[in-house]
A and B are shown apart, each in its own frame.
Chain A
Amino acid sequence: MAVETLGSAPRVKVAPWNDPVIRGWVFQIVVVGLVGFLAWYLVSNTIDNLQRQKIASGFHYLEREAGFEIGDTMIEYSPASTYARAIWVGILNTLRVAVLGILLSTLLGTLVGVGRLSPNWLLSRICAWYVEAFRNVPLLLWLFLFYKLISEAFPGPRQAISLFWNSVFLSNRGVYFPVPMADPIHKWMGVAFLVGIAGAWFVNRWGKKRQEATGQPFPAISAGLGIIIGLPALVWLAGGAPHHMSWPELKGFNFAGGTVIQPEFTALLVGLVLYTSAFVAEIVRSGILALHKGQSEAAAALGLSRGQSMRLVLLPQALRVIVPPMTSQYLNITKNSSLAIAIGYPDLVASVNVTINQTGQAIENILIIMAAYLSVSLSISAFMNWYNKRIALRER
């Protein structure tokens, strides 16, 4: 009885200005109205200003000739190319730094993070000081330092430091090293490499299944590496083992031949990786420390070595704690790669900045930057969320 009366209690009549629903809507309409008014005010000012300054609008400028030089390109580009091409070069350069930075800083950061937990006091202290030194100083300062060191402390091309019997040259123009001459077989080696990765994945799955069924372990890592490296090598041998190399040689004031890693790229990558791995190390360390002590003790009791217990027992569990904060570090690397503009590496922001200065079309260009970074950020988060779901604890 009592329950029924409670459930079907007649709504108390309140004055409209005291009704929370009505109040909520009024409040929302007021706020959205104010934001809308602000937006209208800004847009109308902008249109007015653009008309007065005779700045064109729209994305037609992308078709026009860019006319500026880009020092470091992954695809064919010349000043005669279009603005669209220039911005695309920038996007590719950003992606190159971001992808390499993510891989290397994950690797280094994990090593440092595990090193901080080492029973060796000296090693753990050194790793701790590495972390403190790098994360308490702005990234931009590290970038400047590395860039200035490379461009000022390294000798010019004529006095370049040569390594490995005159095949690799270090100078303030970058690192020159030999590459194989272009050969049709390289394409097939690339295909073999991809096939090798797929093969390694299947071998790994088969090995896991066999271990679950019979208990016999399978050396999946070495077998996988063997397939990934072996298949392209076989293709290379089958293609007649072309071994002509393009060697870097001093011609005039600079090197010709071979290939080069530009100093800007080196400084940016080194700075990003060293800086970010300090944060990654802290994430990895706290992830491992979050595990119950019984886990490492149980692994030791089973007779696993320290490396095995880390690889098979601790890290897979720690990953669950590690992945979410790691995702935001990956996003940070991508966003921080935009600091490239300060040391002259032609990334997306640098290309777009030149475009803004030449065309004056700030709004369109900034929209391009935002759209590019947002789509990269969203893809990284989507991938990491998928991975996070995969490794998450499967509960009933």
Chain B
Amino acid sequence: MTDAMPVGDRKPLAPPVDETGALGWVRKNLFSSWGNGITTVVLIAAVLWVASWFLEWALFTANFTAATGAECRGGGACWALIREKFRYIFFGSFPYEQHWRPLFAVITMLAMLVLSADRRMWNWRLLVIWGVGSFITFLLMFGQIHIPLSLILFVALVCGGIGLTLRSALAAPSERMAYYALVGIGAVGLVLRMVGALPAWSIAIAPLSYVETSLWGGLPVTLILATYGLAFAFPYGILLALGRRSNLPLIKGLCVGFIELIRGVPLISLLIMASVMLPLFLPSGTTIDKFLRAQVAVILFAGAYIAEVIRGGLQSLPKGQFEAADAMGLNYPQKTLLIILPQALRVVIPPLINTFIGFFKDTSLVLIIGIFDFLNTANQALVDPNWAGFPGEVYLFAAFVYFIFCFSMSRYSKYLEFELNKGTRR
């Protein structure tokens, strides 16, 4: 009886050595079959060969300190070129001693983007962040900002209008009075301004020297084009998407026509159009800033694509949500802004970020119409005859910067997808 040990008391055998630990992992993932083993060996050889060649070029024989391009020749990578030119690549022709301004503008925009990435900020705080952030950015870039009276009146009118539409039933009488006051001041002021009864006052904030947009360049330009392109294209895209889903045939036709037209042609043709046709469209004598023209083209382009993404979100909502909102007696703006959009937008945030990554990359196309974005300044750094002949270094550096931006955004989108799906995942 002593040798008949109960099964449960036996010590379990350890698994074979080649099934666990590092060895097991290697066996399972690299050498699971003959074919797999051969693939692994060939790939390791190829990776080693490429890596050794690249390290040799980029690190061991590279020149980090040369004073001119001639000293660099013959060896490996010429990173001294980047050292020499990085301020131009990042900030373009912005006055050299003022480079701290675009630097802080970039930091402000990055802070703005990072703060808006935090879900706790997705409420009225977002407006504050973007308002303050944009003000600082443009104050730094331009140096001087003039806020005309009519703009202030217009903002008052819009704020009052939004408040009245959304909170008409909920607001206390005093709050409603405030909205009426805003609308009244805005409307009356604008009319008075238009007939000339009010003078063209403007608030001037001018702590720094003025730098015009033709001198802007590098990373701030890319960031401004992408960020504000999206910021304006977003509400525009929402309107287009709502229009496309509308029951009103004329509105629907206009929106479908616009979206399909823009999506059918390349961005370059829109940019060329903005640069050669926009001046023809306006009364003679008016000129629009070239930078603004490119920004308008990017906004129109982005709007059409964002509209399609948002349409996907609108379509994913069950019909009951629309019907329930109707049954509650909400009017169209209330239904849309309080019931439909909060749910629809939540669904489309990850694809929207992917669209944004696309636009971030697409802003590089503005170099075709002669705007000095980040890629264009990198390109211009190659033109210097003293440093000619090192395209690989400059483009790899630029690619690295773009990669950091796009890669972190795509990680954020993945994380967000995970977070937002928590409720529906089991």
Given contacts A138-B402, A338-B266, contact A120 B39 (CB under 8 A): yes
A123 near B43 (CB under 8 angstroms)?
yes
Which parts of B243-268 form the interface with A (CB within 8 Å)? 247-251, 254, 261, 264-268
Query: Quick check: A339 and B268 within 8 Å, CB to CB?
Result: yes
Binds A, one of B91-99, B173-181, B277-285, B291-299: B277-285
Complex contacts, A342 vs chain B, CB 8 Å:
367-368
Is residue B272 contacting chain A, with contact meaning CB distance below 8 A?
A: yes
Return the contact of B44 from the options A122, A339, A377 (Cβ within 8 A). A122
By the criterion CB–CB under 8 Å, are A138 and B362 in contact?
yes
Of B281, B361, B391, which is within 8 A of A145 by CB?
B391
Q: Which residues of A contact B368 (CB under 8 A)?
A: 341-342
Name the contact of B364 in the complex, choosing from A48, A123, A140, A145 (C-beta under 8 A).
A140
Residues in chain A near residue B406, CB distance under 8 A: 135-137
> Which residues of A sit under 8 angstroms from B282, Cβ to Cβ?
45
Give the distance in Å from the alpha carbon of A123 to the alpha carbon of B39 in the complex: 8
Query: Measured between alpha carbons, how far is A139 from B365 in the docked complex, in Å?
Result: 9
Q: Which residues of A contact B392 (CB under 8 A)?
A: 145, 148-149, 153
Roughly how many angstroms separate A28 CA and B243 CA in the complex, as a whole number?
11
Q: How far is the CB of A352 from chain B (nearest CB, A)?
A: 8
| Residue B336 interfacial (CB < 8 Å) | no
A384 CB to closest chain B CB, in angstroms?
A: 14
Contact flags (1/0) for A22-52 with B, using CB distance below 8 Å? Answer: 0010011101100100000010011011101
- Known A119-B32, A123-B39, A145-B392; contact A136-B403, beta-carbon cutoff 8 A: yes
Q: Does A297 sit at the interface, judged by CB under 8 A?
A: no
In the assembly, what is the distance between CA of A140 and CA of B375, in Å? 8
Taking a contact as CB atoms closer than 8 A, the residue among A122, A145, A336 that contacts B30 in the complex is: A122
Instruction: Pick out which of these stretches binds chain B: A58-66, A106-114, A363-371.
Output: A363-371
Are A141 and B36 within 8 A (Cβ)?
A: no
Q: Are B375 and A138 in contact (CB under 8 A)?
A: yes
A141–B264 touching, CB < 8 Å: no
A24 touches B43 (CB 8 A): no
B361 — nearest CB in chain A belongs to which residue? A138
Most buried by A among B261, B276, B282: B276
Tell me if B68 counts as interface (CB < 8 A to partner A): no
A-chain residues with CB within 8 Å of residue B277 when the two chains form the complex: 362-363, 366
CB contacts (< 8 Å) of A183 on chain B: these are none
* A373 interfacial contact with B, CB 8 Å: yes
Contact B254 A32 (CB under 8 A): yes
Cβ A138 vs Cβ B264 within 8 A: no
Decide if B148 is an interface residue (CB 8 Å cutoff): no
Complex Cα distance, B379 from A329, in Å, reads 28
**A369 and B402 form a contact (CB under 8 A):** no
Out of A49, A139, A369, which one reaches B265, CB within 8 Å?
A369
> B202 contacts the other chain (Cβ, under 8 Å)?
no
Q: Which of B342-377 contact A (CB under 8 A)?
A: 357, 361-362, 364-365, 367-368, 375
A353→B276 CA distance, assembly (Å): 10
Chain A, 354-380, CB within 8 A of any chain B CB = 356, 362-363, 366, 369-370, 373-374, 377-378
- Interface assignment of B398: CB less than 8 Å from any CB of chain A: yes
| B420 contacts the other chain (CB 8 A) | no
Known contacts A31-B254, A32-B254, A126-B43; is A42 also within 8 Å of B281 by CB?
A: yes
- Flag if A45 contacts B40 (CB, 8 Å): no
Taking the nearest CB of chain A, how far is it from the CB of B236, in angstroms?
14
Name the A residues within 8 Å of B399 (CB-CB): 137, 141-142, 145
Q: Are B29 and A119 in contact (CB under 8 A)?
A: yes
Distance (Å) between the CB of B108 and the closest chain A CB?
Answer: 24
Q: Is the CB of B40 within 8 A of A122?
A: yes
Residue B321 at the A interface, CB < 8 A? no
Residues of the B chain whose Cβ atoms lie less than 8 Å from the Cβ of A268? none
Kindly identify which residue among A144, A349, A363 contacts B395, using a CB–CB cutoff of 8 Å. Answer: A144
CA distance in complex: A356, B268 (Å): 14
Interface string of A328-348 (1 = CB under 8 A from B): 000000011011011000000
Among A32, A369, A378, the residue within 8 A (CB) of B250 is A32
- For A141, list chain B residues within 8 Å (CB): 364, 375, 395, 398-399, 402
Q: Tell me if A69 is interfacial: C-beta within 8 Å of chain B.
A: no
Given A24-B247, A152-B389, do A341 and B410 touch, yes or no (CB 8 Å)? no
Among residues of B, the one whose C-beta sits closest to the C-beta of A374 is: B264
A49 to B281, CA, bound (A): 8
Chain A residues, CB < 8 A from B403: 133, 136-137
B407 within 8 A of A: yes
Q: Are A353 and B272 in contact (CB under 8 A)?
A: yes
A49/B280 in contact, CB under 8 A: yes
List of A residues within 8 angstroms of B364 by Cβ: 138, 140-141
B273 in the interface (beta carbon within 8 A): yes
Contact B251 A120 (CB under 8 A): no
B261 in complex: contacting residue of A152, A336, A374, CB < 8 Å: A374
| Bound form: Cα–Cα A49–B403 in Å | 44
- Distance to closest chain B CB from A285 (angstroms): 14
Is A152 a contact partner of B391 (Cβ separation < 8 A)? yes
| Interface pair A338/B269, CB less than 8 Å apart | yes
Flag whether B47 is at the interface (Cβ < 8 A).
Answer: yes
Complex alpha-carbon distance, A133 and B396, angstroms: 11
A22 shortest CB reach to chain B, Å: 12
A45 adjacent to B266 (CB under 8 Å): no
> Can you list the 10 inter-chain pairs with the closest CB atoms, starting with the nearest?
A148-B391, A121-B29, A136-B406, A335-B266, A138-B361, A338-B266, A145-B395, A138-B364, A28-B250, A362-B276
Q: List 21 A-B contacts (CB under 8 A).
A: A24-B248, A28-B248, A29-B250, A42-B281, A45-B280, A45-B283, A46-B281, A119-B29, A138-B361, A141-B398, A144-B375, A144-B379, A145-B392, A335-B267, A338-B269, A339-B268, A342-B368, A349-B266, A369-B265, A369-B272, A377-B264
Residues of A within 8 A of B (CB): 24, 27-29, 31-32, 35, 42, 45-46, 48-50, 52, 119-123, 126, 132-133, 135-142, 144-145, 148-149, 152-153, 335-336, 338-339, 341-342, 349, 353, 356, 362-363, 366, 369-370, 373-374, 377-378
| 10 additional contacts (CB under 8 A) given A148-B382, A335-B267, A349-B266 | A27-B248, A45-B282, A46-B280, A120-B36, A141-B375, A148-B395, A356-B276, A366-B276, A370-B265, A374-B261
